[in-house]
A = this chain, B = another copy of it.
Amino acid sequence: MARSPVWASRPKTRGVVLDVIRAARSISRVELAMATGLTGATISEVVRELLGDGLVVEAGRGAPTGGKPRTMVQLNPPARYGVGVQLERNACVIVVVDLAGRPVARTSFHGVESMPPEQALPLVASRVDALLTSAGVDREKVLGVGLVTYGPQDRTAGVQLTPQPTEDWYDYPVAPRLAESLGLPVLLDNDAAAAAIGEYWMGAVDPDSTYGCFYMATGIGGGVVVSGEVYRGSSSNSAEIGHISIDVNGEECPCGNVGCLENYAGPSAVVRQALTMPDLARRLALDPAADDFLTEFSRIAAAANAGDPEARELVERSARYLGHAAVTVSVLFDLDTIVLAGQSFAVAGSLYQAVIQQELDRRLFARKAHPVRVVPSVNGSDAAAIGGAVLVLQSELILGHGRAEDGPRPVPAGAVDQT
Protein backbone atom coordinates (compact mmCIF):
# COMPACT_ATOMS: atom_id res chain seq x y z
CA MET A 1 0.00 0.00 0.00
CA ALA A 2 1.19 3.48 -0.81
CA ARG A 3 2.64 5.58 1.96
CA SER A 4 1.11 9.02 2.29
CA PRO A 5 3.56 11.69 1.20
CA VAL A 6 1.97 14.22 3.50
CA TRP A 7 2.22 11.95 6.48
CA ALA A 8 5.85 11.27 5.77
CA SER A 9 6.76 14.78 6.90
CA ARG A 10 5.20 14.52 10.36
CA PRO A 11 7.55 16.32 12.69
CA LYS A 12 8.97 15.01 15.89
CA THR A 13 7.52 17.25 18.58
CA ARG A 14 10.70 17.48 20.61
CA GLY A 15 12.80 18.40 17.58
CA VAL A 16 10.29 21.05 16.51
CA VAL A 17 10.31 22.70 19.91
CA LEU A 18 14.10 22.62 20.12
CA ASP A 19 14.44 24.14 16.64
CA VAL A 20 12.05 26.98 17.45
CA ILE A 21 14.00 27.71 20.64
CA ARG A 22 17.26 27.70 18.66
CA ALA A 23 15.97 30.06 15.99
CA ALA A 24 14.31 32.41 18.49
CA ARG A 25 17.36 32.50 20.81
CA SER A 26 15.10 33.29 23.79
CA ILE A 27 11.39 32.48 24.01
CA SER A 28 8.60 31.92 26.53
CA ARG A 29 6.46 28.79 26.76
CA VAL A 30 3.42 30.76 25.63
CA GLU A 31 5.27 32.01 22.54
CA LEU A 32 6.47 28.45 21.90
CA ALA A 33 2.87 27.22 21.91
CA MET A 34 1.89 29.96 19.47
CA ALA A 35 4.85 29.31 17.18
CA THR A 36 4.38 25.55 17.05
CA GLY A 37 0.60 25.21 17.33
CA LEU A 38 1.13 22.68 20.13
CA THR A 39 -0.93 22.85 23.32
CA GLY A 40 0.40 24.53 26.43
CA ALA A 41 0.43 21.18 28.22
CA THR A 42 2.56 19.56 25.52
CA ILE A 43 4.98 22.49 25.49
CA SER A 44 5.33 22.32 29.28
CA GLU A 45 6.09 18.62 29.13
CA VAL A 46 8.63 18.89 26.30
CA VAL A 47 10.38 21.89 27.89
CA ARG A 48 10.57 20.00 31.20
CA GLU A 49 12.28 17.12 29.36
CA LEU A 50 14.70 19.45 27.56
CA LEU A 51 15.56 21.17 30.87
CA GLY A 52 16.12 17.74 32.43
CA ASP A 53 18.52 16.77 29.64
CA GLY A 54 20.33 20.08 30.04
CA LEU A 55 19.71 21.07 26.41
CA VAL A 56 17.89 24.27 27.37
CA VAL A 57 18.03 26.55 30.38
CA GLU A 58 15.68 29.07 31.90
CA ALA A 59 16.98 32.57 31.40
CA GLY A 60 15.27 35.52 33.02
CA ARG A 61 11.86 36.88 32.31
CA GLY A 62 10.35 38.41 29.21
CA ALA A 63 8.91 41.91 29.00
CA PRO A 64 5.64 42.16 30.92
CA THR A 65 2.61 41.95 28.62
CA GLY A 66 -0.09 42.86 31.06
CA GLY A 67 -0.15 39.56 32.95
CA LYS A 68 2.68 38.15 35.04
CA PRO A 69 6.14 38.22 33.39
CA ARG A 70 6.99 35.03 31.51
CA THR A 71 10.05 32.86 32.13
CA MET A 72 12.15 32.63 29.01
CA VAL A 73 13.95 29.48 27.86
CA GLN A 74 16.99 29.32 25.61
CA LEU A 75 19.49 26.80 24.32
CA ASN A 76 22.30 25.74 26.59
CA PRO A 77 25.14 25.92 24.03
CA PRO A 78 27.79 23.93 25.95
CA ALA A 79 25.38 21.03 26.50
CA ARG A 80 26.32 19.27 23.25
CA TYR A 81 28.87 19.65 20.47
CA GLY A 82 29.23 18.63 16.85
CA VAL A 83 32.44 18.24 14.87
CA GLY A 84 32.70 19.19 11.20
CA VAL A 85 35.49 18.00 8.90
CA GLN A 86 35.84 19.40 5.40
CA LEU A 87 38.13 17.06 3.51
CA GLU A 88 39.74 17.85 0.17
CA ARG A 89 42.91 17.30 -1.73
CA ASN A 90 44.20 20.83 -1.08
CA ALA A 91 42.24 21.89 1.96
CA CYS A 92 41.09 20.42 5.25
CA VAL A 93 39.25 22.40 7.91
CA ILE A 94 38.08 20.94 11.22
CA VAL A 95 35.72 22.79 13.55
CA VAL A 96 33.93 22.04 16.80
CA VAL A 97 30.62 23.85 17.22
CA ASP A 98 28.37 24.09 20.24
CA LEU A 99 24.64 23.37 20.34
CA ALA A 100 23.93 26.85 18.93
CA GLY A 101 26.15 26.09 15.91
CA ARG A 102 28.87 28.51 17.04
CA PRO A 103 32.47 27.43 16.42
CA VAL A 104 34.37 26.92 19.68
CA ALA A 105 37.54 25.46 18.15
CA ARG A 106 39.10 25.29 14.71
CA THR A 107 42.11 23.88 12.96
CA SER A 108 43.14 23.41 9.36
CA PHE A 109 45.86 21.73 7.38
CA HIS A 110 46.92 21.49 3.83
CA GLY A 111 44.53 18.75 2.74
CA VAL A 112 45.05 15.05 2.16
CA GLU A 113 46.93 15.58 -1.13
CA SER A 114 47.26 12.21 -2.83
CA MET A 115 47.27 10.09 0.32
CA PRO A 116 45.21 6.90 0.23
CA PRO A 117 42.34 6.82 2.75
CA GLU A 118 44.18 4.32 4.99
CA GLN A 119 46.77 7.01 5.60
CA ALA A 120 44.56 10.11 5.45
CA LEU A 121 41.75 9.05 7.80
CA PRO A 122 43.99 8.27 10.82
CA LEU A 123 45.63 11.66 10.24
CA VAL A 124 42.22 13.35 10.28
CA ALA A 125 41.25 11.37 13.39
CA SER A 126 44.37 12.47 15.24
CA ARG A 127 43.67 16.10 14.33
CA VAL A 128 40.09 15.82 15.62
CA ASP A 129 41.31 14.20 18.84
CA ALA A 130 43.90 16.92 19.34
CA LEU A 131 41.35 19.68 18.69
CA LEU A 132 38.82 18.26 21.16
CA THR A 133 41.55 17.90 23.77
CA SER A 134 42.98 21.39 23.31
CA ALA A 135 39.48 22.91 23.38
CA GLY A 136 38.69 21.01 26.59
CA VAL A 137 35.49 19.56 25.11
CA ASP A 138 34.10 16.55 26.96
CA ARG A 139 33.84 13.70 24.39
CA GLU A 140 30.68 12.49 26.09
CA LYS A 141 28.99 15.66 24.88
CA VAL A 142 30.08 15.24 21.24
CA LEU A 143 27.13 14.01 19.17
CA GLY A 144 29.25 13.02 16.21
CA VAL A 145 31.30 14.11 13.24
CA GLY A 146 30.02 15.48 9.93
CA LEU A 147 32.56 14.50 7.28
CA VAL A 148 31.92 16.63 4.21
CA THR A 149 33.67 16.07 0.92
CA TYR A 150 33.32 15.33 -2.80
CA GLY A 151 30.15 13.91 -4.38
CA PRO A 152 28.60 11.74 -5.62
CA GLN A 153 28.22 9.65 -2.49
CA ASP A 154 26.25 6.82 -1.02
CA ARG A 155 25.34 8.64 2.17
CA THR A 156 23.60 5.66 3.76
CA ALA A 157 26.70 3.50 3.49
CA GLY A 158 29.06 6.41 4.14
CA VAL A 159 30.91 5.76 0.88
CA GLN A 160 32.24 8.10 -1.83
CA LEU A 161 31.31 7.22 -5.40
CA THR A 162 34.03 9.33 -6.97
CA PRO A 163 37.75 8.70 -7.44
CA GLN A 164 38.71 11.89 -5.60
CA PRO A 165 41.23 12.90 -4.42
CA THR A 166 42.65 9.64 -5.86
CA GLU A 167 41.39 6.32 -7.26
CA ASP A 168 41.88 4.72 -3.82
CA TRP A 169 38.95 6.69 -2.42
CA TYR A 170 36.37 5.34 -4.87
CA ASP A 171 33.89 3.10 -3.04
CA TYR A 172 35.96 3.28 0.15
CA PRO A 173 33.88 3.25 3.39
CA VAL A 174 35.19 6.62 4.61
CA ALA A 175 32.51 7.24 7.24
CA PRO A 176 32.65 3.80 8.92
CA ARG A 177 36.46 3.86 8.95
CA LEU A 178 36.69 7.34 10.46
CA ALA A 179 34.03 6.37 13.02
CA GLU A 180 36.16 3.41 13.98
CA SER A 181 39.32 5.51 14.35
CA LEU A 182 37.54 8.15 16.43
CA GLY A 183 35.06 6.14 18.45
CA LEU A 184 32.41 8.67 17.42
CA PRO A 185 29.46 8.46 14.98
CA VAL A 186 30.33 9.87 11.55
CA LEU A 187 27.85 11.25 9.01
CA LEU A 188 29.06 11.58 5.41
CA ASP A 189 27.69 14.44 3.35
CA ASN A 190 28.36 16.66 0.42
CA ASP A 191 30.52 19.71 1.19
CA ALA A 192 28.27 22.12 -0.69
CA ALA A 193 25.07 20.82 0.94
CA ALA A 194 26.79 21.26 4.30
CA ALA A 195 27.85 24.82 3.48
CA ALA A 196 24.27 25.55 2.46
CA ILE A 197 22.68 24.41 5.71
CA GLY A 198 25.41 26.13 7.72
CA GLU A 199 24.26 29.48 6.33
CA TYR A 200 20.70 28.81 7.42
CA TRP A 201 21.64 27.72 10.89
CA MET A 202 23.80 30.82 11.38
CA GLY A 203 20.85 33.02 10.49
CA ALA A 204 22.35 34.38 7.26
CA VAL A 205 19.18 33.81 5.23
CA ASP A 206 15.49 34.22 5.84
CA PRO A 207 14.03 31.02 7.39
CA ASP A 208 11.40 30.78 4.64
CA SER A 209 13.93 31.34 1.87
CA THR A 210 14.53 28.99 -1.07
CA TYR A 211 18.21 29.54 -1.62
CA GLY A 212 21.14 27.99 -3.35
CA CYS A 213 24.67 27.82 -2.07
CA PHE A 214 27.39 27.94 -4.73
CA TYR A 215 30.40 26.35 -3.18
CA MET A 216 33.85 26.82 -4.71
CA ALA A 217 36.96 25.37 -3.13
CA THR A 218 39.15 23.36 -5.55
CA GLY A 219 36.01 22.29 -7.40
CA ILE A 220 32.52 23.75 -7.77
CA GLY A 221 29.54 22.29 -5.96
CA GLY A 222 26.11 23.40 -4.88
CA GLY A 223 23.36 22.89 -2.36
CA VAL A 224 19.75 24.06 -2.25
CA VAL A 225 17.85 24.67 0.99
CA VAL A 226 14.07 24.96 1.14
CA SER A 227 12.61 26.29 4.40
CA GLY A 228 15.54 25.09 6.45
CA GLU A 229 16.08 21.61 5.00
CA VAL A 230 18.58 20.57 2.34
CA TYR A 231 16.88 19.57 -0.91
CA ARG A 232 18.00 15.96 -1.21
CA GLY A 233 16.45 14.42 -4.33
CA SER A 234 16.37 10.67 -4.73
CA SER A 235 19.85 9.85 -3.39
CA SER A 236 21.24 13.03 -1.79
CA ASN A 237 23.31 13.74 -4.90
CA SER A 238 21.52 16.93 -5.89
CA ALA A 239 22.66 20.35 -7.11
CA GLU A 240 26.06 19.25 -8.44
CA ILE A 241 26.43 22.50 -10.31
CA GLY A 242 30.05 21.92 -11.29
CA HIS A 243 28.83 19.20 -13.62
CA ILE A 244 25.98 20.88 -15.39
CA SER A 245 26.84 21.71 -18.96
CA ILE A 246 27.08 25.26 -20.18
CA ASP A 247 28.03 24.25 -23.74
CA VAL A 248 26.35 21.44 -25.66
CA ASN A 249 29.33 21.56 -28.05
CA GLY A 250 31.90 21.56 -25.24
CA GLU A 251 34.63 19.06 -24.51
CA GLU A 252 33.97 15.83 -22.68
CA CYS A 253 34.57 15.92 -18.91
CA PRO A 254 35.89 12.91 -16.97
CA CYS A 255 32.41 12.75 -15.36
CA GLY A 256 30.89 11.72 -18.72
CA ASN A 257 29.09 14.97 -19.49
CA VAL A 258 30.21 17.61 -22.02
CA GLY A 259 30.90 21.30 -21.41
CA CYS A 260 30.83 21.05 -17.58
CA LEU A 261 30.87 24.38 -15.74
CA GLU A 262 33.84 23.38 -13.59
CA ASN A 263 36.08 23.10 -16.66
CA TYR A 264 35.29 26.70 -17.65
CA ALA A 265 34.96 28.49 -14.33
CA GLY A 266 36.63 26.43 -11.60
CA PRO A 267 39.92 27.42 -9.93
CA SER A 268 41.87 24.81 -11.90
CA ALA A 269 40.47 26.17 -15.17
CA VAL A 270 41.40 29.73 -14.20
CA VAL A 271 44.93 28.60 -13.30
CA ARG A 272 45.27 26.73 -16.62
CA GLN A 273 44.10 29.82 -18.50
CA ALA A 274 46.60 32.00 -16.58
CA LEU A 275 49.45 29.67 -17.46
CA THR A 276 48.80 30.36 -21.15
CA MET A 277 49.43 34.09 -20.50
CA PRO A 278 53.25 34.32 -20.14
CA ASP A 279 53.38 37.86 -18.70
CA LEU A 280 50.77 37.13 -16.06
CA ALA A 281 52.26 33.75 -15.18
CA ARG A 282 55.67 35.35 -14.69
CA ARG A 283 54.30 38.36 -12.76
CA LEU A 284 52.47 36.08 -10.31
CA ALA A 285 55.22 33.42 -10.23
CA LEU A 286 52.69 30.72 -11.11
CA ASP A 287 54.09 27.22 -11.02
CA PRO A 288 53.11 25.19 -14.10
CA ALA A 289 53.81 21.97 -12.20
CA ALA A 290 51.76 22.98 -9.17
CA ASP A 291 49.24 20.48 -7.97
CA ASP A 292 47.65 22.90 -5.52
CA PHE A 293 45.18 24.92 -7.54
CA LEU A 294 43.81 26.69 -4.48
CA THR A 295 47.09 28.46 -3.75
CA GLU A 296 47.70 29.37 -7.39
CA PHE A 297 44.11 30.55 -7.79
CA SER A 298 44.45 32.70 -4.66
CA ARG A 299 47.39 34.52 -6.26
CA ILE A 300 45.38 35.27 -9.37
CA ALA A 301 42.40 36.42 -7.27
CA ALA A 302 44.61 38.67 -5.16
CA ALA A 303 46.06 40.24 -8.33
CA ALA A 304 42.56 40.74 -9.73
CA ASN A 305 41.47 42.41 -6.49
CA ALA A 306 44.55 44.65 -6.73
CA GLY A 307 43.57 45.75 -10.22
CA ASP A 308 45.83 43.63 -12.46
CA PRO A 309 43.89 43.80 -15.76
CA GLU A 310 44.84 40.34 -17.04
CA ALA A 311 44.05 38.64 -13.73
CA ARG A 312 40.83 40.57 -13.52
CA GLU A 313 39.82 39.48 -17.01
CA LEU A 314 40.30 35.84 -16.04
CA VAL A 315 38.34 36.10 -12.81
CA GLU A 316 35.55 38.01 -14.52
CA ARG A 317 35.34 35.40 -17.27
CA SER A 318 35.03 32.68 -14.62
CA ALA A 319 32.37 34.78 -12.88
CA ARG A 320 30.49 35.22 -16.15
CA TYR A 321 30.31 31.43 -16.62
CA LEU A 322 29.19 31.02 -13.02
CA GLY A 323 26.54 33.68 -13.61
CA HIS A 324 25.36 31.74 -16.63
CA ALA A 325 25.01 28.60 -14.50
CA ALA A 326 23.37 30.64 -11.73
CA VAL A 327 20.61 31.51 -14.20
CA THR A 328 20.07 27.82 -14.98
CA VAL A 329 19.97 26.84 -11.32
CA SER A 330 17.62 29.72 -10.47
CA VAL A 331 15.29 28.94 -13.39
CA LEU A 332 15.03 25.33 -12.25
CA PHE A 333 14.85 25.74 -8.44
CA ASP A 334 13.16 29.17 -8.46
CA LEU A 335 15.63 30.53 -5.92
CA ASP A 336 15.33 33.86 -4.13
CA THR A 337 18.95 34.00 -2.91
CA ILE A 338 22.35 32.62 -3.91
CA VAL A 339 25.07 32.41 -1.27
CA LEU A 340 28.72 32.22 -2.38
CA ALA A 341 30.75 30.02 -0.02
CA GLY A 342 34.06 28.17 0.11
CA GLN A 343 37.76 29.02 -0.01
CA SER A 344 37.82 30.32 -3.58
CA PHE A 345 34.91 32.72 -3.15
CA ALA A 346 36.49 33.81 0.13
CA VAL A 347 39.45 35.28 -1.79
CA ALA A 348 37.58 36.83 -4.75
CA GLY A 349 34.00 37.02 -3.56
CA SER A 350 33.18 40.64 -4.36
CA LEU A 351 34.23 40.34 -8.03
CA TYR A 352 32.16 37.17 -8.41
CA GLN A 353 29.19 38.60 -6.54
CA ALA A 354 28.89 41.65 -8.83
CA VAL A 355 29.15 39.71 -12.10
CA ILE A 356 26.81 36.87 -11.07
CA GLN A 357 24.25 39.40 -9.85
CA GLN A 358 24.47 41.21 -13.19
CA GLU A 359 23.85 38.01 -15.16
CA LEU A 360 20.84 37.10 -13.02
CA ASP A 361 19.32 40.55 -13.36
CA ARG A 362 19.64 40.43 -17.14
CA ARG A 363 18.89 36.83 -18.01
CA LEU A 364 16.47 35.30 -15.55
CA PHE A 365 13.22 33.95 -16.98
CA ALA A 366 11.10 34.79 -13.95
CA ARG A 367 12.85 38.08 -13.04
CA LYS A 368 9.46 39.79 -13.39
CA ALA A 369 8.13 37.60 -10.56
CA HIS A 370 11.00 38.41 -8.18
CA PRO A 371 14.77 39.08 -8.21
CA VAL A 372 17.47 36.67 -7.05
CA ARG A 373 19.92 38.23 -4.61
CA VAL A 374 23.60 37.16 -4.53
CA VAL A 375 25.27 37.37 -1.11
CA PRO A 376 28.59 36.28 0.40
CA SER A 377 28.71 33.46 2.93
CA VAL A 378 28.73 34.43 6.60
CA ASN A 379 31.13 31.57 7.26
CA GLY A 380 33.73 32.20 4.54
CA SER A 381 36.33 29.48 4.15
CA ASP A 382 34.88 27.46 7.01
CA ALA A 383 31.34 27.24 5.61
CA ALA A 384 31.48 23.55 4.69
CA ALA A 385 33.14 22.42 7.92
CA ILE A 386 30.71 24.38 10.10
CA GLY A 387 27.84 23.03 8.00
CA GLY A 388 29.11 19.48 8.51
CA ALA A 389 28.97 19.98 12.28
CA VAL A 390 25.51 21.57 11.99
CA LEU A 391 24.23 18.60 9.98
CA VAL A 392 25.17 16.34 12.88
CA LEU A 393 23.32 18.55 15.37
CA GLN A 394 20.30 18.75 13.06
CA SER A 395 20.26 15.02 12.43
CA GLU A 396 20.53 14.14 16.11
CA LEU A 397 18.44 16.80 17.77
CA ILE A 398 16.00 18.40 15.38
CA LEU A 399 14.97 15.87 12.78
CA GLY A 400 14.89 12.97 15.22
CA HIS A 401 15.38 9.36 14.33
CA GLY A 402 13.72 7.16 11.77
CA ARG A 403 11.95 9.56 9.43
CA ALA A 404 12.54 8.36 5.88
CA GLU A 405 13.53 11.77 4.53
CA ASP A 406 16.03 12.52 7.26
CA GLY A 407 18.56 10.59 5.31
CA PRO A 408 21.03 8.28 6.95
CA ARG A 409 21.85 8.29 10.62
CA PRO A 410 25.50 8.72 11.45
CA VAL A 411 27.42 5.49 11.13
CA PRO A 412 28.28 4.55 14.72
CA ALA A 413 31.81 3.67 15.68
CA GLY A 414 32.50 -0.05 15.47
CA ALA A 415 29.87 -0.69 12.80
CA VAL A 416 32.40 -1.88 10.25
CA ASP A 417 32.96 -5.53 9.66
CA GLN A 418 36.70 -5.82 9.98
CA THR A 419 37.19 -9.10 8.17
Contact = CB atoms under 8 A, between A and B. Distances in A.
Interface of A: 1-12, 15-16, 19-20, 23-24, 27, 31, 35-37, 151-154, 161, 207-210, 222, 226-229, 231-241, 243-249, 255-258, 264, 321, 324, 327-329, 331-336, 362-370, 398-399, 404-405
A207 B5 contact: yes
Contacts of A365: 152, 237, 240, 243, 255-257
B332 A239 contact: yes
A334 B210 contact: no
Nearest to A244: B328
Contacts of A362: 256
26 contacts: A5-B208, A5-B228, A6-B16, A6-B19, A6-B398, A6-B399, A10-B37, A152-B365, A161-B366, A161-B368, A226-B233, A234-B335, A234-B370, A235-B336, A235-B370, A237-B365, A238-B334, A239-B332, A240-B332, A240-B365, A244-B332, A245-B246, A257-B331, A257-B364, A258-B324, A328-B328
Given A241-B332, A370-B234, A1 B23 contact: yes
Contacts of A368: 152, 161
Contact of A245 (B229, B257, B324): B324
A222 to B, nearest CB: 8
Contacts of A233: 210, 226, 333-335
Contacts of A226: 233
Contact of A4 (B16, B240, B247, B256): B16
B6 A208 contact: no
Given A229-B5, A370-B235, A247 B244 contact: no
Contact of A332 (B24, B333, B366): B333
Per assembly, the copies of the chain total 2
B334 A1 contact: no
B207 A369 contact: no
A198 to B, nearest CB: 15
A367 B247 CA distance: 20
A7 B16 contact: yes
Contacts of A404: 208
Contacts of A208: 3, 5, 404
Contacts of A231: 231, 333
The list of the 6 closest CB pairs from A to B, nearest first, reads A233-B334, A5-B228, A2-B23, A238-B334, A5-B227, A237-B366
Residue among A151, A152, A154 having the largest count of chain B Cβ atoms under 10 Å: A152
B3 A27 contact: no
A23 B4 contact: yes
A365 B11 CA distance: 33
A333 B236 CA distance: 9
Contacts of A238: 332-334
